[in-house]
Amino acid sequence: MENTLKYISIQHELGMSIGLELPLQPMLRRFTKVAVRRLNLAEVRLYFLHDRQGQLALPSDIKSSVLKPYFSSTLSETVATPAALSDTFERLIGFPTDYILQHDDTTGEYTYYYNLTNIGMISLHLYHQPIHAELLELLKPIVERLAISCQASIEHHHLLQAIDDRKRAEEVVRFQLLHDELTQLPNRRSFMRHLDELNSTYNARKLKAAVLFIDFDRFKTVNDTLGHAVGDSLLQAIAKTFIKLVRSHEMVARLSGDEFVIVLSETEQQNQSVYQIVENTLSNIQLAFSNPLQAGEHLLHITPSIGVEFFPNKNYTSEQILRHADTAMYVAKSQAPNSAVIYDRSMSVELEHRQFIEKQLQQAIKEPEQFGLLYQPQFNARGDCIGAEALVRWNGQNLSPEEFIPVAEDTGLMLELGHQILSRACHDLKQLQDESATGHVKRISVNVSALQFNQRNFISELTSIISNAEANSHLIGIEITESALVKNTDEAIKKIAALSEMGIRVSIDDFGTGYSSLAYLNRLPVNALKIDQTFVKGIAKDANNLAIVETIMALGHSIGLSVMAEGVENDADLQCLKRLGCELYQGFYFGKPMPLAMAKHSLLPNYSTADEPANP
């Protein structure tokens, strides 16, 4: 009777130790502590199924799981071999309340193995005497209850793990939704949310903030020459640089490509205005990017163009604020590298005008008759006409070439427009050849954009145009700007040499506005320099322009090139140029650009109106 009460007390205390803790390890620690004490055990070990990832498994995963040691009351590392464990466990499967007794005669150890509802097993270890049969019977419901609690704990663990995994997945998705993958900076969506909120709250609090829209000069060149991997490394370096330059409450975001934005703001706790903050930040940015950045194995020097817009202002929306900063950035980009420009309304007027031109160009380029050519005669010092320059005009539009040519170049439409201009000029030349009584015609020169000249197929395309028009290539002149020559000087030399072989005269147009370097000029097989009209106009009264023109002429003559002055508009400037030794001229003083019919008087020797065909 006494033993029975003792065994019931043991059963009660063991049962009470189960389920007080839901997490598995704390529960097992409490249970094994009681079991060792009340059953006079040497050790209690627990083994559970683990999946291929090493996580606790459920009975449903039994076929793909492995039984492994999980817990020991003594924290002993001495456990049965995996093979022996698996063999014992397989013998217990299907017998949840039975046990297997193993006795080691050498050590005197008794080991009782119980199945824990096929999710694992528990082993009770004691020495020199077995557990009493009556107590073993009382242990059966305890093991059943322990198995249920273990399974509940494992299921709870899986549930918590699933919740954590889902939370982490949601956090990843949320982060990816609002951040740029490459730089880990906030993306456009995140930036616009922040801008919306700041625009609203700062308007109510009468505070000011600013958006800096930043684009990098020549970034495309990095991608094209060194590859996108280096370009990506450079973008990451740029992002890290920006983060170091702003305060913790301010935002740096990447919109796309090499476009970044920074939001700077004043606070109620500081005395510094946003205008001072912007000024300091711009100085820090320009200083930071005056040094090269490490991009992989490369040290690269890259400069930003920055547009600034302050807000809140006139109830502008966040989209309008960003667009204003973007517009100012494009103005900065048209200036010197590493420039910053603050937005004003006139910039939007210019942008809208440019967008209008681009839209009209896209349509007009499909209708070649919308563009025509005028010819401005060119003269030598004796007053003889030596040829004419073909100048494109947009029929029906009150737009000068200075307005629409840059748009055509920036949008790539210049390739098609340039083809049309060359083709029209060659056909006009063929008409002059046919109408010349002597067969002698003055040369027609055509401007070729840098974009067109740098195309790989430029020479073959020009050859085809000349051939189709049946024009004499020796009567054609090509005028190209310095920017077309310095991008790839070796390739430019080959193209100019090919033009020379065709008898085409090559001139460098607008000379003095670009690189004007003797180092590259001496290598180019060109025939003439054309001094830009900005240096020619008013030369008789402007000592600076006089010095520049004198230098250019000395440079040209030193390497055997002819020099032509553009923009000659009065006799005083002409006489000044003659005294400097200039031999070729072009400008309103000699004649304005005119239609081909009027230019024939200059381009065809002994031409008279009687030679013109009668109107039908």
- Reported as a single tens digit per residue, the pLDDT across 83-121 is 667 777 777 776 655 788 999 888 999 999 998 888 888
CATH number of residue 87's parent domain: 3.30.450.40
Q: Of 329, 355, 381, which closes a domain?
A: 355
Q: What is the pLDDT of residue 612?
A: 43
d(CA 415, CA 453): 9
Are residue 148 and residue 192 in the same domain, yes or no? Answer: no
Could you tell me if 30 and 20 are in contact, meaning their C-beta atoms sit under 8 angstroms apart?
A: yes
Helix runs in 379-455, H state only: 401-411, 414-435, 450-453
Q: What is the pLDDT of residue 56?
A: 86
Are residue 482 and residue 515 in the same domain, yes or no? Answer: yes
Please tell me the total count of domains within the chain: 3
Are residue 124 and residue 219 in the same domain, yes or no? Answer: no
Q: What is the arrangement of strands in the sheet containing 340-342, beginning at the earlier edge strand?
A: 251-256, 259-265, 209-216, 304-311, 340-342
Are residue 392 and residue 501 in the same domain, yes or no? Answer: yes
Query: Could you list the residue range(s) of the whole structural domain that residue 209 is in?
Result: 188-355
CATH number of residue 387's parent domain: 3.20.20.450
Going by C-alpha positions, the residue among 502, 424, 432 that lies closest to residue 468 is 424
Tokens of 224: 């094209």
Instruction: Give domain status of residue 167, yes or no.
Output: no
Instruction: Give domain status of residue 339, yes or no.
Output: yes
Could you tell me if 304 and 338 are in contact, meaning their C-beta atoms sit under 8 angstroms apart?
A: yes
Instruction: Give domain status of residue 178, yes or no.
Output: no
d(CA 342, CA 94): 81
Instruction: Give domain status of residue 615, yes or no.
Output: no
Are residue 276 and residue 396 in the same domain, yes or no? Answer: no
Instruction: Give domain status of residue 171, yes or no.
Output: no
Helix runs in 216-371, H state only: 219-226, 228-245, 274-288, 318-334, 345-364
Instruction: Give domain status of residue 66, yes or no.
Output: yes
Are residue 75 and residue 214 in the same domain, yes or no? Answer: no
Tokens of 557: 């003559």
d(CA 222, CA 193): 32
Hey, what long-range contacts does 557-560 have (CB within 8 A, 24 or more apart)?
A: 557/581, 559/518, 559/521, 559/522
The pLDDT tens digits for 34-76 are 999 999 999 999 999 888 888 888 766 666 788 888 888 886 5
Q: Of 321, 355, 389, which closes a domain?
A: 355
List, in sequence order, every residue forming a beta bridge with 530; answer none if it has no partner: 564
Instruction: Give domain status of residue 169, yes or no.
Output: no
Q: What is the pLDDT of residue 615?
A: 36
The CB density around residue 437, as the number of other CB atoms within 10 Å, is 10
Q: Of 102, 128, 162, which closes a domain?
A: 162
Are residue 325 and residue 434 in the same domain, yes or no? Answer: no
Q: State which amino acid sits at residue 389.
A: E
Q: What is the pLDDT of residue 487?
A: 67
Are residue 142 and residue 203 in the same domain, yes or no? Answer: no
Q: How far is C-alpha 195 from the geometric centre of its chain's CA atoms? A: 21
Going by C-alpha positions, the residue among 369, 387, 497, 370 that lies closest to residue 446 is 387
Cis check: omega of the bond before 616, within 30 degrees of 0: no
Are residue 348 and residue 395 in the same domain, yes or no? Answer: no
Composition of the chain by helix, strand, coil, percent to 5? 50, 20, 30
- Regions in the chain scoring below 50 on pLDDT: 78, 609-616
CATH number of residue 291's parent domain: 3.30.70.270
Could you tell me if 594 and 390 are in contact, meaning their C-beta atoms sit under 8 angstroms apart?
A: no
Are residue 380 and residue 297 in the same domain, yes or no? Answer: no
Q: Quote the DSSP letter at residue 594.
A: B
Are residue 335 and residue 390 in the same domain, yes or no? Answer: no
pTM: 0.56
Are residue 239 and residue 324 in the same domain, yes or no? Answer: yes
By the 10 Å C-beta count (0-12 exposed, 13-18 middle, 19+ buried), 109 is classed as: middle
Instruction: Give domain status of residue 37, yes or no.
Output: yes
Q: What is the pLDDT of residue 609?
A: 46
